[in-house]
Amino acid sequence: MTALFFFCFTVCISQTQYLDSLLNELKTAKEDTNKVLLLNYISQDIFKTDAKEAFQYAKASVNLSEKLNYERGKAIGIINMGRTYQLELNYKEALKCYLEGLTINQKRGNKLTIAKSYGDIAGVYGDLLDSDNAIVYQHKKINLLKDLADPKAVRSLAIAYNSLGMTYKDKLKYDSALKYIDLSEKINHTLNDSILLAACFFNKGLVYDEIPGFDEEALSWYQKTLDISLKIGHDSYLPNAYIGIADIYIKQNKFRDALQYAEKGINYANWTGNKIWVKYGYVSVIKAYEGLKDPVSQNRYLEKLLAFNDSIAKEETDSKLAEWRIKFETGEKEKENLILINEMQAKEIELNQTLSLVYGLGAAILLLGLIAWLVIRQNKLQSEQKAIQLEQKLLRSQMNPHFIFNCLQAIQNFTLKNDGKQATFYLSAFGALTRSVLENSRTELVSLKKEITLLEHYLNLQRLLHGQKFTYEITISPDLDVEYIEIPPMLAQPFIENSIEHGLKEINEGGLIKIIFAQTKRYMILEIIDNGKGISPAEIKEHRSLATTITKERIELYNKRNKTNASFTITDAFSSEQNKGVKVTIVLPLT
């Protein structure tokens, strides 16, 4: 471990020296294509540690490229901007950048850069769990690279095979997954590329981890990942390997061994800034302590996990507050300057026009009074606006912990049943859903497409949790522009949860949840319908569930902020006495 630390420390120094060298060179660089490349090298070097700064360097390279008419530099800069967006989970902007970069590369006719663009686009679709589109672009990349003898193309081909294998894993097509990962591994052995071999080994471990009865094979591949990573001193796959081994040990009831590996995984994930694997590590520790019948330690790590989620949200909030403070202070300076200018004008009138002294003073006083009134009015409006934004953040903070606790409880239930396959699969799916929830919680409004994607994730997981006792249908009116229309995030999810936990509670099979997005001339209509036991008219009138209370407050705040008349109602879905069902109708004005 000492040797590894020394190696990592040396690598960090080397990387720092490289960055310092680039920054020093940038200071004296002329406004030419070399400076464009320098800006892009710096962006690529720092984008994982400082995405915002990396974005600024990439944007500067694009601006200079446009000035120089340098298409290659512009494409690289736009793609670098896309990577910072993707790292911050802003997939819509990332995809726009990658598609723009692809268009430029296609005009230039460079097959290698076109293939890379295909890979970037496939990566975004993969993050969005859109496996079909990811596979289409991965095959486009592979078909281009097969015909190229360039060593860079060969390495890119190995990466493409590996990525395609993992996409097939997500679709549960394990034979195809192993086939393409094997092709990648074969090329990497030829290239003697240990880093890419580590990626192949770990991905094979993930595939075998999901196949019942192949725990030993998964453990073997995770161990190979760990061995090669330690050998070359490359820490990117160390968190993955340690936590992967920990999860296998949990399946085998080796809980103390699992703890040691999970804690090492968390340490390396913190070292590399890999927040996703920090979360996975905490979940593994929680499961290990559960197996050891140590509820005190289990709850301690559950609190750490929730605090970690809160810290991520706090970082985003602090960043926003800093932006607001800068804007506010800038606005105040401008107001002060305006007042000073008017005072000087008043003095000039007093000195140069003595005959109009009385009128000049009166005008100055009136003007100052008007400015003061405008300042007070503006501050009041800003205060009201901030109050509304903070209230909405508070409401979402009431929803998200409730939602997260349910998911974590589901993972615990699977673990208690010793259903390792389901637990692992559910944990993987929960990670993808968590990404969507975190992303959608960043803004006051999200696109209808993102909201529908989140609902699909949630419903698929709930079907898995409840033994497929219900099905669901999502119907979208063809008139709705799902990319353009924006709505408050997670409006439907609490009512869907009510349908599953209460309405369909006594149904063992044949349950149905319908979600309908329709449009009239002025409104978008969202309906959530279930065929459960329903609730009586008295219950409808007096119903005060968490979903109803929070949605009512959110709708009120939405109307207050946007000056609209959005509303929602809860009624019977059917006339049957046995299964009346419940229909929730949410009406949102189209803006």
**Which residue has tokens 């079907």?**
463
Give the architecture-level CATH label for domain 193-293.
Alpha Horseshoe (1.25)
The one-character DSSP state at 573 is S
CA angle 250–282–251, rounded 5-degree value: 10
Contact (CB, 8 A) for 529 and 514: yes
Cβ atoms within 10 Å of 531's Cβ, excluding its own: 23
What does each of the 591 residues of the chain score in pLDDT, given as a tens digit?
333 333 343 344 445 666 777 778 878 888 888 888 888 888 888 777 777 888 898 899 899 889 889 899 898 999 989 888 887 778 888 899 999 989 998 888 888 888 888 988 988 888 887 888 889 998 998 998 888 888 888 888 988 898 899 889 888 888 999 999 999 999 888 888 888 898 899 999 999 988 888 999 999 999 999 898 888 887 778 888 899 999 999 989 999 998 999 888 888 888 877 777 888 888 888 888 888 898 888 888 878 877 777 666 555 444 444 444 444 444 444 444 445 445 545 555 554 555 455 555 666 666 666 666 666 666 555 545 544 554 444 444 444 555 566 666 766 776 777 766 767 766 776 776 777 766 666 677 888 888 888 888 888 888 877 778 899 999 998 888 888 888 888 888 888 888 888 888 888 888 999 999 998 888 889 999 998 888 765 554 444 466 677 778 778 877 877 788 888 888 888 877 667 889 999 999 886
Tell me the sheet residues that pair with 568.
Answer: 586
Length of the chain: 591
pTM for the whole structure: 0.48
Contact (CB, 8 A) for 440 and 345: no
CATH topology of domain 443-591: Heat Shock Protein 90 (3.30.565)
Distance of alpha carbon 351 from its chain centroid, rounded? 63
The one-character DSSP state at 532 is S
Contact (CB, 8 A) for 496 and 455: yes
Task: Look at residue 9 in the predicted model and tell me its pLDDT.
Answer: 37
Q: How far apart are CA 129 and CA 453, in angstroms?
A: 9
Tell me the sheet residues that pair with 569.
Answer: 585
Phi then psi for residue 574, to 5 deg, are -135, 165
**Which residue has tokens 């109050």?**
387
Phi then psi for residue 564, to 5 deg, are -120, -175
Q: How far apart are CA 184 and CA 342, in angstroms?
A: 72
Q: How far apart are CA 360 and CA 362, in angstroms?
A: 5
Tell me the sheet residues that pair with 526.
Answer: 517, 586
Q: Which amino acid is located at 144 in the chain?
A: L
**Domain spans, the chain:** 193-293, 300-430, 443-591
Tokens of 190: 């030829």
Contact (CB, 8 A) for 298 and 290: yes
Q: Strand 523-530 relative to strand 511-519: parallel, antiparallel, unpaired?
A: antiparallel
Contact (CB, 8 A) for 78 and 96: no
CA angle 407–409–412, rounded 5-degree value: 115
Tokens of 527: 């309906």
Helices (H), 466-505: 493-498
Task: Look at residue 265 in the predicted model and tell me its pLDDT.
Answer: 86
Q: How far apart are CA 551 and CA 96, in angstroms?
A: 33
Phi then psi for residue 514, to 5 deg, are -110, 135
Tokens of 589: 């004005």
- Span between the terminal Cα atoms of the chain, in Å: 59
Q: What is the 3-state secondary structure (H, E, C) of 24-60?
A: HHHHCCCCCHHHHHHHHHHHHHHCCCCHHHHHHHHHH
**Which residue has tokens 């401008």?**
334
3-state helix, strand, coil split of the chain in percent (to 5) is 75, 5, 20
188-212 residues labelled b (16+ CB within 10 A) or e (exposed): beeeebeebbbbbbbbbbbbbbbbe
Task: Look at residue 18 in the predicted model and tell me its pLDDT.
Answer: 66
Contact (CB, 8 A) for 61 and 81: no
Q: Which of 220, 221, 191 is nearest to 203 (CA)?
A: 221
440-479 residues labelled b (16+ CB within 10 A) or e (exposed): bbeebbbbbbbbbbbbbbbbebbbebbeebbebeeeeeee
Tokens of 216: 């030993």
Residues 6+ apart with CB under 8 A from 422: 414, 464
556-574 residues labelled b (16+ CB within 10 A) or e (exposed): ebbeeeeebebebebeebe
Contact (CB, 8 A) for 458 and 430: no
Q: How far apart are CA 517 and CA 456, in angstroms?
A: 14
Contact (CB, 8 A) for 445 and 403: no
Contact (CB, 8 A) for 530 and 503: yes
Q: What is the 3-state secondary structure (H, E, C) of 271-293?
A: HHCCHHHHHHHHHHHHHHHHHCC
Q: How far apart are CA 426 and CA 467, in angstroms?
A: 13
